[in-house]
Structures are given as C-alpha cells and as structure tokens.
Amino acid sequence: MSTISVRPLSELDLHDRKVFMRVDFNVPLRGGQVVDDSRVVAALPSIKYVLARAKLLVLASHLGRPQAGKPDAAFSLEPVATCLARLLQREVVLLRDYGMTNVVALAQQTGGTLLLLENLRFHAGEKQNTTDFAKCLATGFDVYVNDAFGTLHRKHASVVGMPALFPPEACGIGLLVGAELAALDKVMHAAHRPFVFIIGGAKVSDKIAVILNMLKYCHYVLIGGGMAYSFLRQQGHNVGKSKVDTRQELITAILHHAAERRVNILLPQDHIAAGEFSELATPVQIDSSDLPDDLIGLDIGPRTRAHYSAVIARAGTILWNGPMGVCEWQNFARGTHAIATACHASQATSIVGGGDSVAAVKACGLADGFAHLSTGGGASLKYLEGEPLVGLQALSSHI
C-alpha cells in the first residue's frame, strides 16, 4: 500500500484565494438529466469548504468518452451544472469556451464566484497531458485541489500536469479523496478479523494484481461473477459454455499464494444458468458446482448465497469489489443483491468499491448501512494493487 504523503484541504491557505478544483462529475445522463447524482453529492463537502473561504472556485471534470478535441453536446456538463446549482441552492456558471485562454480572466468576467468548466475531454491536451493545456488551466489560480478520486490513476493534464505549476504549499487533496484513502488504508492496515474479501467481475486477468495483493491481508476470498468459472475449470469442474480465462497460470498463482498464506478461497457450489447470454434467457438453477455443456453460468445459486452470507455474518471487515453475476439483468441479480443484504446486516466494517457493486447496494436501498462506498472503481483497484496513484505522486512531489 502506498505511503505517499499529501496535503489535506485543511492545511491549504484558501483565504481570499482563487482555487482550481478537479472533481469527478462523470455521472450518467439520460434525456439531458443527471440520472445518479451520487458523485456530485460526494463533492459537496469540499466545494462548500472552499466557497466559505476562497474568492473564486472553478471546478473541472470530464464526462464520458467524447472524441478528443471535439465538443459533443451529448457529453456536455450543462446538466451537471444544473444539478449542482440545485443541490447548492446557488448559481453555477458553466464556462464553455475557455479553450487555450486564461480561465481566471474569463471567470472574473462572469461576475460569479463558482464556475464549472465544460468537459475537459473536449480538449485533446487533457488526455495527452500536454504542458500547454495544463498551463491554460492553471494560469491565474492560487491553489490547486484534487478531489476526483476516480481519476487519480489517470495521467491527464488536470491530474498530473497541473500540480507541478503550483507552489508546494498550494497543492492538496479534497475531503472526498481524503475519505477514500482513509477508508482503503483502514481496511488494509487496521482491519478487524476475520477480513473477508469479496471479488467478482468477468476476468481474472483484470484483477490478478488486486487479488494477489489482498492475499497478504485477508482471511477469506469469496469469488463470484464470470471469473469464478476460471477457478472452477482449473479445479476440474465442468463450466459448460461459460467463458474462462485462457491464462490458467494466473489461477494457479492465486491458489498457490492463498495456500501459502492459509487464506480460504470459496467458489460457487451451485449456479443460476441459461442457454444463452441474454437478458431474456430463461434462468435454470443448477444444484452442483458443475454446469451442463449447453449452459452458461450467470449468477451464483441459493446454496452459494447462503454459504457466502454465513461467512460474511462472521466477518470483522469486508471489502467488496465486483458483482456475483450479471446483476444488471433482473433474472441474474439475486446473488449480487444477496451479498449486498448480507454485508449490510453484518456488524463488520464494510467497504464497497466498483460501479456495479455500488449500484447494487443502492438498488437494494442499503447505501446508508455501509462504512464507505467508493466513488472510483478503477482508482480503487489500482490502489488496492499496492501501486501509488499517479495523481497522488504528482501532489506528493511537493512535500
């Protein structure tokens, strides 16, 4: 785990200053409306903290994956500006045409004290991390704050290019980033026993580094999702038409390290399957670890749900990343929802990371019962791999 030291918001001199804050407003939109405002709400404490002290606050974020260098109305942050204004009950000015000009000068022309830049990814220099674009963003500001945990693993201009353009004492992290790091560090270094790590998702190869690193800390690993079939296949079970990771050496490495550290790895004992990978497919319950040749495993079965829930009930600490099945399809979501319910009912400190897992918790109406719901799936995974996040490295270079 990283031991990088960065300045918290409370240590920055914000009085009467012009502040640039990188936030993560990469939220889902539908029909020109914000569908889920969780990331906007998560940024509010830092925004309010800065507004109470600073002369000017300019927020910047990306949204989606527009073609770099080309504005696209489908990815405009205008709905987010509207959402933020409603939440704060104050005007939020959307600055569209900042281009390669002085952002502070343009901001002052509006007469507002809170502005939001249009989608950073409308400019090719953001993802390319060009010095020119970083200077465009930084010119005229006194303080740089990064409160976008979900972007800290990205080598983008607003994340790693800008900090170098500010004095050491004028760079730091926001309250959200601080809370994210504190939650992840607590579960790694001060976890109550037993520590249960729940991992799901499609491919072992996507999460091999995380799993191997977590084996240093946890006592149980509960595996679900598509990756479970790679483990079952390696242990000689029939997995039907389920996709498996061709790099079986990854499975061997995980099992070897788990055995060395006496970590219990649990795999599905039964399944909810179907004849095809389709939302409309008829679910079939299979009361065995083995699947028939003509079926695909799409969720964990009731016996596995009960077994996993029993382990979770005894946990002292829980870290969950990844669904147990194709949870966006109602017929194959029961396993993921059962895990969410079990974690919520547990007396353990429970932390959830990853978009699908967090979405499942919210869908069950259980969000308030967890110690922490991470806003950054990719960044969380990178941090749990034990690798430093480049955004933190950029800030720590001043310390």
Contact indicator for 320, 198 with CB cutoff of 8 Å: yes
Tell me if residue 201 is catalytic.
Answer: no
* HSE of 363, CA atoms in CB hemisphere, 13 A: 18
Tell me if residue 354 is catalytic.
Answer: no
Q: Which of 96, 135, 203, 247 is catalytic?
A: 203
Contact indicator for 261, 237 with CB cutoff of 8 Å: no
Helices and strands per DSSP (H, E), number in the chain: 14, 17
* Phi, psi torsion values for 194, nearest 5 degrees: -75, 150
Tell me if residue 53 is catalytic.
Answer: no
Tell me if residue 316 is catalytic.
Answer: no
Q: How many other CB atoms are found less than 10 A from the CB of residue 262?
A: 8
Q: Which of 140, 316, 378, 386 is catalytic?
A: 378
Both tokens assigned to 299: 């969720």
Q: Which of 7, 18, 22, 39 is catalytic?
A: 39
Q: How many other CB atoms are found less than 10 A from the CB of residue 255?
A: 15
Question: Which three-class secondary structure state does DSSP give residue 10?
Answer: helix
Q: Which of 64, 275, 355, 377 is catalytic?
A: 355
The amino acid at residue 93 is V
Contact indicator for 146, 159 with CB cutoff of 8 Å: yes
Contact indicator for 27, 77 with CB cutoff of 8 Å: no
Alpha-carbon distance of 271 to 289, in angstroms, equals 7
Contact indicator for 28, 79 with CB cutoff of 8 Å: no
Residue positions annotated with a catalytic role: 39, 203, 355, 378
